[in-house]
Structure 1
Amino acid sequence: MTQNGISISGQTVQCKCVESKIETDRLYYSRFAVSPFKRGQAGIVGIAMRKASLGEVEGTSITYAKFRGAVHEYSTIMGIQETIHDILVNLKETVFRSDSRDIQKASLYVTGPKKVTAGDILLPPTVRAVDHSQYIATVTQPVSPNIDLIIEKGYGYQINNSEEYKSGEFPIDAIFTPVRNASHSIHPFESPKEIGEISFIETWTDGSMTPSEALYEASKNLIDLFDPFLQMKQNANCFESNDIIFSCTRPSSSHWNDMDKSAREATSKNTFIDQLELPARVYHCLKRSNINTVLDLLDYSQEDLQKIKSFGKRSADQIVKLLWERFSIELPSKRL
């Protein structure tokens, strides 16, 4: 049983794991009791934790597969029962746990006849398959198919564009969600002094992490989201500031061109990258490189962006296109 004490509104609030079970290798369940809360607080915490658990916990997934001899997604490889499409679906659902944030390479090389499972994937030391029996394909003849894989970490759901890949290469839309489901319920209780609330939080994970680990990461990332508000000066009054007040709507090219240099700098300084509606993978790569605003991006050339870990040319092209369309800013190809 785990127990942690924190302070909320002068109360000592504790989180206890009251139930935990492993239903399968890919389904872990835990139930947590969090109390005591004042009336109304349990709902705030429960809703926030549910959303953070489903969207702010990092997962590991296959994002790319290369089949030698494959023509298109719905073709077949001699000696394999499934189509390429069916194998890609099975690879997409394969659950991994990774101790590294780097992009990892893996491969699948077997000789049939054989039932191929996740345990047959040749993985780097920092990655492991959660369920070695998870089905991938069946090789029906004495052939030796070879599949190259790329495994990445990320958040949420990532759609990969197939236009940039060659024949035989297939991007996989990744599901970076180790938390399969999360729910909360609120139960009132009476104490001698007041009526309070208990929040029960239920979490189901895919086995790549325990519900306790998921809850810890979700709460940590949730706190980080509120950090900008904690950094605000208590006596700061934005109405007394002479800073330029800017709109969050997209400025037109003509509007941007009409601005003087100081106005442009102020706008780019105060436009944060989370306002740019970037793909999750691009956003997190920039954040890890301490790039927080458009002004920070202007310190980079296109070549510099491609050198950011896990970024690449496609992500750099997205940034270049976005800066031009929104702000009429053209990043140089190389640093001058």
Structure 2
Amino acid sequence: MLKNETSTSTQVIQWKCLESKTEGKRLHYGRFVVSPFRRGQASTVGIAMRRALLQEIGGTSITRAKFCGVMHEYSTITGLQETIHDVLVNLKEIVLRSDSNDIREAFSSVTGPKEVTAGDTSLPPRVEAIDNSQYIATITQPISPDIELKIERDCGYRIENFTRCGDGQFSIDAVFMPVRNVNYSIHLFGNGRATQEISFIEIWTNGSPTPHEALSKASEKLIDLSTPFSRVTCEDVSLLKNEEDFSDSMKSSSLRLQFGDANKLEGKLLKNMFIDQLELPARAFNCLKRAEIYTIADLLNCSREDLSKIRNFGRKSVDQVSKALWDHFAKELPSEKLGINQ
């Protein structure tokens, strides 16, 4: 059982790993307890840690595949059971582990008849497949369909929609999110002024980092984000003496911000904010992902009527999304599509 402690002024915050188990090669679970916190602190830490785990932890994925003599994603190769599109979908699901940020190349060359899995791929040094049994395709005839692969490490999503790049190359819609889910709960103990908080954190990963490794990396990310504020210095700023000075300063190009530029900036920000930040119930969150709604910009391109057409997405889920949008971003679902991603 892992245990550690950190002193903060008069507090000695301790954490333990209460439970750690492997539910499958691509599903690892860990449950941790952190305490004691003063009133309100556990929520601050829990929210920040959850977001860091879901958004700041990088992953490694296959981002491009090249097939010889293939024209488009729905092409078929004689002797290969799947279409190129099906193979690309299977390659997207391969879970890889790597500590390198370099772009790497891999190669798959198997002679059939044979069922091709992740273990049949020749991976570069410092890259490994978490589950060698992950299915890729079935070769039904004595042929050797060569596949060249591009491997990258990043954070979040990269939406490519299997774009054809030429010469039989296809970009793959990659997911660089090894942390599958995070839950935290807060409980009170003690009485009166001595009341303190204890927080339980549950983490599920795809196995490329363990939950303990993910927690450690998320903590490092939060420290890195906070460190610059500890070095902030204050400088005297001359106040504008009168309205004329203020008017002149507003004419300066360095302070001019057009509404059009502000709208463009907001659009870019929304494209990089993922729906994880809404902290939706699992049912609503999973339905949105299946509908390929990954970012706040994607969501704001949908009206309430559009969302209600999503399979298994009822009125209650629509109301939950609407409330979360307002609570977190002061945004409302549009009466018609906004075209943010267009």
Once the two structures are TM-superposed, the CA of residue 104 in structure 1 deviates from its matched residue by 0.5
Given the two structures, how large is their TM-score scaled by the length of structure 2?
0.69
Measured at CA, do residues 161 and 80 of structure 1 come closer, stay the same or move farther in structure 2, by a change above 3 Å? closer
* Residue-by-residue CA offset, 1:24-61 (whole Å, 9 max, x unaligned): 10000000000001111111111111111000001000
Report percent identity of matched pairs: 57
The runs of 5 or more residues in structure 2 that have no matched partner are 241-250, 256-264, 273-342
The one-letter code matched in structure 2 to 1:130 is I
Contact 1:154 1:176 in 2 (8 A): yes
Once the two structures are TM-superposed, the CA of residue 3 in structure 1 deviates from its matched residue by 1.8
Could you say what secondary structure the match of 1:143 adopts? coil
Could you say what secondary structure the match of 1:122 adopts? coil
Tell me what 1:121 maps to: 121
Contact 1:113 1:141 in 2 (8 A): yes
Contact 1:53 1:182 in 2 (8 A): yes
Count of aligned residue pairs for this structure pair: 257
Tell me what 2:74 maps to: 74
Tell me what 2:178 maps to: 178
Written as runs of structure 1 = structure 2, the 5 A alignment for 1:76-95 is: 76-95=76-95
The one-letter code matched in structure 2 to 1:10 is T
- Looking at structure 1, the residues matched to 214 and 222 of structure 2 have their Cα atoms a distance apart, in angstroms, of 12
Contact 2:49 2:219 in 1 (8 A): yes
Contact 1:14 1:34 in 2 (8 A): yes
* Residue-by-residue CA offset, 1:210-247 (whole Å, 9 max, x unaligned): 101001111111222223322212x5466x478xxxxx
Provide the aligned C-alpha RMSD in A. 2.9
Once the two structures are TM-superposed, the CA of residue 67 in structure 1 deviates from its matched residue by 0.7
Tell me what 1:199 maps to: 199
Contact 2:163 2:172 in 1 (8 A): no
Tell me what 2:153 maps to: 153
The one-letter code matched in structure 2 to 1:198 is I
- Looking at structure 1, the residues matched to 270 and 194 of structure 2 have their Cα atoms a distance apart, in angstroms, of 46
Written as runs of structure 1 = structure 2, the 5 A alignment for 1:222-237 is: 222-233=222-233, 235-236=234-235
Could you say what secondary structure the match of 2:165 adopts? coil
Written as runs of structure 1 = structure 2, the 5 A alignment for 1:5-20 is: 5-8=5-8, 10-20=10-20
The one-letter code matched in structure 2 to 1:115 is E
- Looking at structure 2, the residues matched to 82 and 228 of structure 1 have their Cα atoms a distance apart, in angstroms, of 51
Tell me what 2:299 maps to: none
The one-letter code matched in structure 1 to 2:160 is N
Tell me what 2:132 maps to: 132
- Looking at structure 1, the residues matched to 204 and 85 of structure 2 have their Cα atoms a distance apart, in angstroms, of 28
Tell me what 1:314 maps to: none
Measured at CA, do residues 259 and 237 of structure 1 come closer, stay the same or move farther in structure 2, by a change above 3 Å? closer
Measured at CA, do residues 118 and 39 of structure 1 come closer, stay the same or move farther in structure 2, by a change above 3 Å? same
Given the two structures, how large is their TM-score scaled by the length of structure 1?
0.70
Contact 1:72 1:167 in 2 (8 A): no
- Looking at structure 2, the residues matched to 128 and 209 of structure 1 have their Cα atoms a distance apart, in angstroms, of 12
The runs of 5 or more residues in structure 1 that have no matched partner are 243-257, 265-273, 281-336
- Looking at structure 1, the residues matched to 114 and 163 of structure 2 have their Cα atoms a distance apart, in angstroms, of 33
Could you say what secondary structure the match of 1:201 adopts? strand
- Looking at structure 1, the residues matched to 165 and 151 of structure 2 have their Cα atoms a distance apart, in angstroms, of 16
